[in-house]
Amino acid sequence: MSVNKEILKLVKYGREAGLIDALDEIYVRNCILDQLKIDEFEEEDITGEEINLPNILDALMDDAYARGVMASDDIVSRDLFDTRLMNAMVDRPSLVNKKFWDLYKENPIAATDWFYKFSQDTNYIRRDRLAKDRKWKVDSPYGVIDITINLSKPEKDPKAIAAAKNAPQSAYPKCQLCIENEGYAGRMNHPARQTHRIIKIEVDNNQWGFQYSPYGYYNEHCIVFNGQHTPMKIEKKTFAKLFDFVKQFNHYFLGSNADLPIVGGSILSHDHFQGGHYTFAMEKAEMEKTFTIPGFEDVTAGIVHWPLSVIRLQGKDTDRIIECADHILGKWRGYTDEEAYIFAETNGEPHNTITPIARRNGDFYELDLTLRNNITTEECPLGLYHPHAQYHNIKKENIGLIEVMGLAVLPARLKKEMDLMAECLVEGKPLSTYEELAKHEAWLAQVQEKHADINKENATAILEEEIGQVFVKVLEDAGVYKCDAAGREAFDRFVATL
């Protein structure tokens, strides 16, 4: 392997991706040489050589590790190092913002298209890892549900875990959403963000940031976050902020995780939303029934046919939708229905909140209000309206915004476990052959009972279907009002209070 050739190929990649132009080549090459601690360079012919970014970076890191320039060869160390290499070709934030807003003046879609491609070209979003994600769809009574096993977030090996544990602790940046992440070199317990660029936008008359998620759970998965490190809070202003963004980028939806543990997202300490250019099953779901809320006759309101309990508001005047949503939020925060096991609070701890999602739909604006409750019981210590224990072999984690809308984000462990389960089913091996399959034993027995003929050709498809149906059950668990007669009657009791 010729290091000179790999450097030239990396620079050529930058040219072809539009990250740099001809005048930048020598400068960029010297920046890369500096990171690699190489003092000499000779031109070589790379005509006909394949320009594959992950392969180029891997080759340069293998060489850097062999020469002792890169101290460790674990996944985290490699991510930190290749981000430094790529940063040599990434424009400063001011130039990135100028390009974005110049394009925005022509067409907001052109601006987001460019920024999304740019975020991938810089390797901030790693295309090679996204390509490894396992995705499929399943039919359900509520529409076609998306299932994904996301593999773009690398699992740390034991060496990296130990290194992160022993790394000096730092409170800078305060969290992974803070604006101070832009350009941050990272460390063993904080990801490299040197190639990370943030578009500065105004939301509700305050500075916010707009970026894409490096883990891309769906198309153009974006994050919109407060410029200040301030906690999540669902309130009237939340609805105003969502619509403020949607009006600026009306080809995107934007939603917020709830603001309470169990039913909230993984980061409650920093006010942020998630959105993107994708149509989820929840958006396609129709309203089972509509109703009129006194004082808001100009806003269409209805119960959505969805496993979670969703009230959809629709209208042309976002101010009126916001007022109506605030009215519903206020009622729900204080609502108790003992018969339906819904308690506004117990021992002073609040339980009721909302997961809201805003979008433009033709000539109308829509706001979906998902009613959430985080109460726990002895039988369900992780949450009554949370995946129940019988499904924890597939999904144990919180049901956050993305799952609420109908996209399962399943743990990476399932990819290997699915392959092993298929092997056991086809070859007749006992599950005890593999320790990690013990948790699936009861569930897999049901699968075998349901499908008489499982063979090499259909085993994976059967497992995908059955895992997808488990996720549908998990969504039903998360619904405070079930989609049966008793559940809809209880839902109507709440609607009557509005």
Secondary structure element (H or E) that encloses residue 408, with its range? strand 407-410
Residue 113 three-state SS = helix
Q: What is the mean pLDDT of the chain?
A: 94
Distance CA 314, CA 333 (A): 22
Distance CA 291, CA 495 (A): 8
Q: Are 382 and 376 in contact, with CB atoms under 8 Å apart?
A: yes
Instruction: Say what the pTM is.
Output: 0.93
* Paired sense of beta strands 143-149 and 407-410, if any: parallel
- Euclidean distance between CA atoms 410 and 412, whole angstroms: 7
Are 353 and 308 a contacting pair, CB within 8 Å? no
Strand, helix or coil at 309? Answer: coil
Walk along the chain (498 residues) and give the pLDDT tens digit of each residue. 899 999 999 999 999 999 999 999 999 999 999 999 999 999 999 999 999 999 999 999 999 999 999 999 999 999 999 999 999 999 999 999 999 999 999 999 999 999 999 999 999 999 999 999 999 999 999 999 999 998 877 655 555 555 555 666 678 999 999 999 999 999 988 999 999 999 999 999 999 999 999 999 999 999 999 999 999 999 999 999 999 999 999 999 999 999 998 897 677 889 999 999 999 999 999 999 999 999 999 999 999 999 999 999 999 999 999 999 999 999 999 999 999 999 999 999 999 999 999 999 999 999 999 999 999 999 999 999 999 999 999 998 889 999 999 999 998 899 999 999 999 999 988 888 899 999 999 999 999 999 989 999 999 999 999 999 999 999 999 999 999 999 999 999 999 999
Q: Return the SS3 of 487.
A: helix
Helix axes 441-450, 413-427, angle to 10 degrees: 50
- 3-state helix vs strand vs coil in the chain, percent to 5: 40, 20, 40
Q: Which residue has the tokens 């990370």?
A: 196
Cα separation of 231 and 364, whole Å?
A: 31
Long-range contacts of 412-418 (CB under 8 A, 24+ apart): 412/149, 412/150, 412/151, 412/153, 412/155, 414/149, 414/467, 415/134, 415/149, 415/151, 418/134, 418/149, 418/460, 418/463, 418/464, 418/467
Distance CA 50, CA 13 (A): 10
3 state SS of 409: strand
pLDDT digits (tens, 9 = 90+) for 417-463: 999 999 999 998 888 889 999 999 999 999 999 998 999 999 999 99
CA 238 from centre of chain: 19
Q: How far apart are CA 188 and CA 159, in angstroms?
A: 11
Distance separating alpha carbons of residues 59 and 41, to the nearest angstrom: 17
Query: How far is it, in rounded angstroms, from Cα 246 to Cα 236?
Result: 16
Those residues whose C-beta lies under 8 Å from the C-beta of residue 196, and which sit 6 or more positions away, are 124, 181, 182, 183, 184, 211
